[in-house]
Homo-oligomer: A and B are copies of this chain.
Amino acid sequence: MVNQLKNIFLFSHMSEEELSHLASIVKLRSFNNGETLFYEGTPSDKLYILLDGVLKGYKTDMKENEIVLHYFYPVSLVAEMANLHHIPFPATAEFQTDGSILEVDYHTFERDFLKNPTVSFGLIKSLTQKLKYLEDIITTRLALDATSRVAKFLYENGDISDSTKRHKIATILGLTPETLSRSFKKIKILGLISDEGKNFTILNREGLKELFS
């Protein structure tokens, strides 16, 4: 366990002694695809560090639609904001693949480790990264219309390959698959992308940018 901890950016500078103390308040848990790590509104006393797999963070709206906030990839801190403010988790986290997390008792962690500059610096980085994600969601979902969102997605993510399901793109952008399809069509008619079978190739990246800025 100590060796595993040492490989996590947040703890890489700790002494052997600190690491073994940390190991004592940490639990490794495995999850299957589809399992839920925590639900929105649940009180939080654990800090989670995603070690393996893909984790989807989402809220649910009034019509039971998912609002996807973020896909987490390893190694990420998850929902540290809830811990720092002692508030319930603001979103639900569900595994999209098999995976594993490190579960840390937050109370002890705060008391014994948060004063460590490396740890607090890692925390600041993680928090600012999350702020950027949320800023981006607000920009995308509140300031742009459907076609602009799709143009932004294409601009930022490059050619769309076969393997990326339209349905997944639609939920990331907060659109229905029907609307996504119609937006792709518009952008194709504008000559900004071309459509070879299932894949899209970007023909005019600057033109795409024009659509959302």
Contact = CB atoms under 8 A, between A and B. Distances in A.
Interface size class of A (residues with CB under 8 A): 35 or more
A185 B121 CA distance: 49
A130 to B, nearest CB: 6
A91 B134 CA distance: 13
A189 interface: no
Nearest to A139: B59
B59 A138 contact: yes
A60 B117 contact: no
Contact of A84 (B124, B139, B144): B124
B132 A81 contact: yes
Contacts of A125: 84
B134 A60 contact: no
A142 B81 contact: no
A91 B69 CA distance: 20
Contact of A61 (B81, B115, B124, B143): B143
A110 to B, nearest CB: 11
A67 B135 CA distance: 12
Contacts of A144: 61-62
Given A67-B142, A120-B121, A128 B85 contact: yes
Nearest to A211: B62
The CB with the most chain B CB atoms within 10 A, among A62, A120, A131, A139, is that of A131
A80 to B, nearest CB: 8
A195 interface: no
Interface in A138-152: 138-139, 141-145, 148
A137 interface: yes
B67 A148 contact: no
B174 A128 contact: no
Contacts of A81: 128, 131-132, 135
Given A59-B138, A117-B115, A123-B124, A85 B130 contact: no
Interface of A: 59-62, 67, 69, 81, 84-85, 87, 90-91, 115, 117, 120-121, 123-125, 127-128, 130-132, 134-135, 137-139, 141-145, 148, 174
